[in-house]
Amino acid sequence: MVIKVFLASSSGSTAIKKKQQDVLGFLEALKIEYAQLDIASNEENRMWMRENVPGEKKPSNGIPLPPQIFNESNYCGDYDTFFDAKEDNSVYEFLGLTPPSGFKEEAISEQVQNENTSEVNSPEVEGGEEINKEVIEQVAQDELSEEPKEKEEIKEEEEEAEEEEEEEEVKAKEADDEEEDKQKEEEEAEKIQHAEEEEQEGEVEEEYEQEEEDLMSEEEEELRQLEEEEEVQASEEEEDED
């Protein structure tokens, strides 16, 4: 089974980019096989993602934002549910995967924590505890300052997604209108062609009838001439007898 991560490669939102990097980096750290599916450059990926995210998991505007995570065609969740699973050390359960043998859930949090604090608590650094405290405070401040920005960026991303959806609807309507106009033009052309063919057939019939009439007139004229000749001949024979 392959984990599918739907993301936007050309997203203008810093918050979305960070979330996407967080998901991919975590999967790589756990050596979990995954596939990146770009919704920015591939319309099929974008439509598939939107259609397969459950309705109750979609935002109020109905347009789910990346990253969205699937196990094959089974929906796992978005970044928030992924983050909660990571915090609860239940990522494998979240992804619908069986943890590797000998795997300990606590090892994830311990490894991440050790990576974040190894430098500031190094014995070679004088006053490591004070530096660690300052770093933690600074990180907390940064997170607080980033939170309104992230909310604003998410709002902007949702507005952009709504605009894109409206543009797609307009394009689809224009395409339907063009197709309808084209169909009307074709029907009109067929009607004109049919009328022309009927007109041509009528002209041919008229010519044929005229020819028939002319032929009949000629035959009648020939018969009349023959009758006159016969009458003349009969008259001459009577005169000869007298």
One domain for residues 96 and 169 = no
- Mean pLDDT, 10 residues at a time, over the chain (242 residues)? 90 88 94 94 94 90 91 94 93 91 57 46 42 46 56 71 76 85 89 87 83 82 85 80 70
Per the CB < 8 A criterion, the answer to whether 75 and 44 are in contact is no
One domain for residues 68 and 171 = no
Structure confidence at residue 37 (pLDDT)? 95
Residue 190 lies in a domain: yes
Structure confidence at residue 148 (pLDDT)? 64
One domain for residues 8 and 45 = yes
One domain for residues 15 and 110 = yes
DSSP states of 157-179 as a string?
A: HHHHHHHHHHHHHHHHHHHHHHH
One domain for residues 55 and 142 = no
Closest CA to 49 of 173, 161, 185: 161
pTM across the whole model: 0.47
Structure confidence at residue 162 (pLDDT)? 74
The residue segments making up the domain with residue 190 are: 131-219
CA dist 21 and 156 (Å) reads 20
One domain for residues 71 and 101 = yes
One domain for residues 89 and 182 = no
CA dist 148 and 139 (Å) reads 15
Q: In the Cβ-directed half-sphere of 240, how many Cα atoms lie within 13 Å?
A: 6
CATH of the domain at 72: 3.40.30.10
One domain for residues 108 and 29 = yes
* Tokens 């405070």, located at residue: 137
Angle at which helices 14-29 and 128-241 cross, to 10°: 110
Structure confidence at residue 25 (pLDDT)? 94
